[in-house]
Amino acid sequence: MDRFDRIFDLHKLLSAARYPVPRQRIEQELECSRATAKRIIEAMRLYLNAPIKYDRELNGYFYDPNEGEMYELPGVWFNSSELHALLSAQQLLENVQPGLLEQQLAPLKSRIEALLNAQGMGGASLCQRVRILRAASRPAGDQFQTISTALAQQKRLQINYYQRSSDQTSSRNLSPQRLTYYRDNWYLDAWCHLREGLRTFALDAIESARIIPEAAVQQTEEELNEHFNASYGIFSGQAAQTAHLRFHPLRARWVAKETWHPQQEGFFSGTGHYELKFPYGNDRELLMDILKYGADVEVLAPGPLRQKVQEQLSATLAQYQKK
């Protein structure tokens, strides 16, 4: 424990106690020596105005009930691990999308850094020690604030959406459901009133967006999870098939620790290969993930998925055989 954690724990101990707490119990709960316990008590009295009194007859410490309302630690008060988690989360968001919600997060960041500095655990040094690398990421685009506002207010959106597959732009009326950050990119899960169903839209492909006053149609959490989480990857819909992959023993050392799908089943065979099974619907993203492992993976089932992988590998080989 550090000093900050001990202050936090001593406050909880004194607040919950009906009678003065003996010094020996304080030392035990705070995992410290007698001298350290006395320093913690004095620091709380001096710097945090804690009304800690000592009862000689009962040989214990307590919060003075004559100080008015029940004493609470001042300001936003977290233990050190919670503070580090908050600051790390802020750093993550800052690196994931520079400038995103910067104005809104600035006061919280300043408060967290001040609390860390008070412990002698400066937040600035922690930020310098958090490194986040982004691969194949795309900017969230100019419509992030409009979309997040519509989501928070449960209002509909009118958007112009560019579909890369068809190289066409279409107008959509959406009821936004939630934002998803997946593989370094932002997506909007929404009810599309044009298609009359749930769809996922890449934020960087939304060319324009405006909030319209009509209330959004809301789907339940169960409905959203059933639609978006059943299949593999970012593609939604029902998972009608099960992929069965077998990885080379060397590659298995990494893959066995990975989560490909919440409902996956994985096991090692007698030869040291690692076999992985999970449900999927749309195979576009799955094909890309399989192909990146090259000769270290084999598709055992289903047949159509195995055939598509063979076709992709044959087409790739043909590219290198051209003169």
Distance separating alpha carbons of residues 113 and 130, to the nearest angstrom: 15
The predicted structure's pLDDT at residue 309: 97
The predicted structure's pLDDT at residue 68: 46
The predicted structure's pLDDT at residue 120: 58
Contacts of 166 (CB under 8 A, 6+ apart): none
The predicted structure's pLDDT at residue 136: 78
DSSP assigned state of 59? T
The predicted structure's pLDDT at residue 238: 78
The predicted structure's pLDDT at residue 67: 62
Q: By three-state DSSP, how is residue 27 classified?
A: helix
Is 262 in contact with 315 (CB distance < 8 Å)? Answer: no
Distance separating alpha carbons of residues 69 and 27, to the nearest angstrom: 27
Q: Measured at the alpha carbon of residue 224, what is the angle toward residues 188 and 197, in degrees to the nearest 5? A: 70
The predicted structure's pLDDT at residue 17: 87
| pLDDT tens, residue order, the chain (323 aa) | 567 778 888 998 998 888 899 999 999 999 899 999 999 999 888 878 889 999 988 889 999 877 645 677 766 566 666 666 666 666 666 665 566 666 666 776 676 666 666 555 555 666 666 666 677 788 888 888 899 889 989 999 999 999 998 999 999 999 999 998 888 888 999 999 999 999 999 999 999 999 999 999 999 988 888 888 778 888 767 788 999 999 999 999 999 999 999 899 999 999 999 999 999 988 999 999 999 999 999 999 999 999 999 999 999 999 999 86
Contacts of 272 (CB under 8 A, 6+ apart): 249, 252
